[in-house]
Chains A and B, each alone.
Chain A
Amino acid sequence: MIRFDGAAKRHPDGTIAVEGLDLDIPAGRTTVLVGPSGCGKTTILRMVNRMVEPTAGRVLLDGTDVSELPAAKLRRGIGYVIQQAGLFPHRRVIDNIATVPYLLGWDRKKARARAAELLELVGLAPELAKRYPFQLSGGQQQRVGVARALAADPPVLLMDEPFSAVDPVVRAGLQDELLRLQAELNKTVLFVTHDIEEAVRLGDQVAVLREHGHIAQLADPHTLLTAPADEGVAAFLGRDRGLRGLGLLPARDVAVRPLTEGSRYNGWELRLDPGGRPTGWVDLGGPAEPHPAPVFHPEVDTLRSALDAAVLSPAGAVVAVDADGRAVGTATREAVLAALTGTRPTGPATADPGPQRPDPQHPEPQRPEARRPDPQRPDGLDERPVSTDGR
């Protein structure tokens, strides 16, 4: 565990970077420091490995004041990842990763074997080992940076805006990778970012910082988004934080109705391909052309994805799929909303109440092509309509 005990940093010119910080970083979890530039977050991070020495207070690593440890020895036991990766341009990828093992005096063979393991761990192909950093993409360089930080298996990992310099798609991939690694390795991670989305995505706890390293709020991401401590934090969290908070809740509590009970809503009927994957919703009173069917995977997706799919669905219901993309059931918008409040809808009352737009010119049952069973569909699915209107 890392403990900041009144840690402060005042520059020689009198400017204050951090003013008396008290903060506990629990072991084995990810703590994110987030705040605008100049709030002192990087200074706080660097107090841990003594790249910044506090001018007052202490930083304790597992109970030991870090200022009592020799800097080089301390640093070799703490992984460090920075924005520009900071790979040594003159060393091949494998030797970049093995940097700390070499410094610790491991023999070359053992250090390289360990580096090869890490290359695989961070999801890079073994043939990249012989390349030089300039031959890698930004995302690959950042992965090598993470591998290098983990090479000597340090219990603590400091990450200073490690993913800020790559494009959003690559960044999302790197974030996923970090979540996966962390689930496997359980390092004590202290992560600095100015990106609140990244903070709530990666953090087990998030500290929102104001200037001089004052903590405006320290909370788990969901609490942060749904119950900001004050106006300032709410403003920093930005718009739609309620919706974004849904992105942190699992969708598995959404009440899913089996396909056999619900494949028709509001005059739309769900169509599946022979493999059971949804192909779209067909408007029973309109053209035969199917409308795309938004889906969610209850075991993996978040409530936000489920709600998004429900909003996009023309039928007002969303298709739940399994890992292979096969439809397992449907859920109405109401069922998704009910999951938000933690209460499930009761009974089948939300089943299709019949055509929403009674139109004497185009009564739905008079469009036989829309009712024709799909010959490619397994028997039964189409023959068991959910409707209660007696059609």
Chain B
Amino acid sequence: MDGEPLVRWYWIGDHLAYLRDLTLDHAVIALVPVLIALLIAVPLGLACARFPRLYQPLSAVFNVVYALPSLAVFVVLIPYTGLATRATVMVPLTFYALAVLLPTTVDGLRSVPDSVRQAATAMGYGPWHRLSAVELPAAVPYLVSGLRVAAVSSISLAAVGALIGRGGLGYLFIDGFQRTFPTPIVAGIVLVAALALVTDLLLILARRLLAPWAVRPEAAR
């Protein structure tokens, strides 16, 4: 890339709409799996808290999935979900997010002090009612912490999807590399980072609204 400047601003000016579409596509591919994972992790986590024997095998399965390289999983899925489809990228990302969210949900539900649990029981909460009304709200700071990790890593992993034809902003890296033209690469890095930053800030805001009583989320972790 000798002589080629890092950024050619005219290219960015010419491709604003294109960059916007890629960013939105990237956000959907990366974040919808996190939401789906959340919807699965909460009931699964409640079940694990209610029946602790479930937790060990489930967390082992998700840990193994988490260890698999994303590209390999994409390729394995192509025959089922198709090349360059969103689903091929989103299914593995859902599992990765679940691998983060299930333990944080269970940890959060277990974070409730024993005295709180006993007090709830003594006041006449049944086991499920207590889980949903006392332990789940108390787990919110944990859930948000888990969501922050899951969302940011999902945004980063989604770019790999470009290698099988569906990676949102990841396409800019392949494009720039193949043409020895750094401008799209720089634009992609900046946009991925910005997307991660905005998502993270929104999640912090959500925690403040949902759990104003958790002043020190670090202490709750």
Please give the residue numbers on chain A whose beta carbons come within 8 Å of chain B beta carbons, in ascending order: 49, 51, 71-76, 78, 80, 82-90, 99-100, 103, 132-134, 145, 148, 158
Contact = CB atoms under 8 A, between A and B. Distances in A.
Q: Which 8 A-B pairs have the closest CB atoms?
A: A86-B119, A84-B115, A80-B122, A86-B115, A76-B124, A75-B124, A132-B213, A72-B124
Contacts of B140: 90
B138 interface: yes
Interface in B21-78: none
A37 B116 CA distance: 21
A134 B138 CA distance: 13
Given A90-B137, A134-B213, A103 B113 contact: no
13 contacts: A72-B125, A75-B122, A75-B124, A80-B122, A85-B115, A86-B113, A86-B115, A86-B116, A88-B138, A132-B212, A132-B213, A148-B119, A148-B123
A80 B119 contact: yes
Contacts, number: 69
Interface of B: 112-113, 115-126, 134, 137-138, 140, 211-215
Contact of A103 (B125, B212, B213, B214): B125
Contacts of B213: 89-90, 132-134
B124 A86 contact: no
B119 A87 contact: yes
A152 to B, nearest CB: 9
B115 A88 contact: no
Contacts of A78: 122
Nearest to A90: B137
A73 B115 contact: no
Contacts of A82: 115, 118-119, 122
A72 B112 CA distance: 21
Contacts of B112: 89
Nearest to B122: A80
A88 B124 contact: no
A43 to B, nearest CB: 13
Nearest to A83: B115
Most buried by A among B115, B122, B214: B122
Contacts of B118: 51, 82, 86
Contacts of B125: 72, 103
Contacts of B124: 71-76, 100, 103
A236 to B, nearest CB: 27
B138 A76 contact: no
Contact of B123 (A76, A83, A90, A134): A76
Nearest to B213: A132
Given A90-B138, A90-B213, A103 B123 contact: yes
Contacts of B137: 88, 90
A78 B140 CA distance: 30
A100 B115 CA distance: 17
A99 B138 contact: no
A99 B123 contact: yes
Most buried by A among B117, B121, B123: B123
A49 B124 CA distance: 10
A246 to B, nearest CB: 37
A75 B116 contact: no
Contacts of A132: 212-213
A178 B71 CA distance: 66
A51 B120 contact: no
A75 B121 contact: yes
B113 A84 contact: yes
A95 to B, nearest CB: 11
A80 B134 CA distance: 17
Contacts of B215: 134
Contacts of A87: 116, 119
Contacts of B115: 82-86
Contact of A88 (B116, B122, B126): B116
Contacts of B122: 49, 51, 75, 78, 80, 82, 158
Nearest to A70: B124
A148 B120 CA distance: 11
A90 B132 CA distance: 13
Contacts of A86: 113, 115-120
A134 B217 CA distance: 13
Given A83-B115, A134-B215, A88 B134 contact: yes
Nearest to B113: A84
A190 to B, nearest CB: 13
A114 to B, nearest CB: 15
Contact of A90 (B119, B126, B211): B211
B138 A80 contact: no
Contacts of A99: 123
A379 to B, nearest CB: 64
Contacts of A84: 113, 115
Contacts of A71: 124
Given A82-B118, A82-B119, 19 more contacts: A49-B122, A51-B121, A51-B122, A71-B124, A73-B124, A74-B124, A76-B123, A82-B115, A82-B122, A86-B120, A88-B119, A89-B116, A90-B137, A99-B123, A100-B124, A133-B213, A134-B213, A148-B119, A148-B123
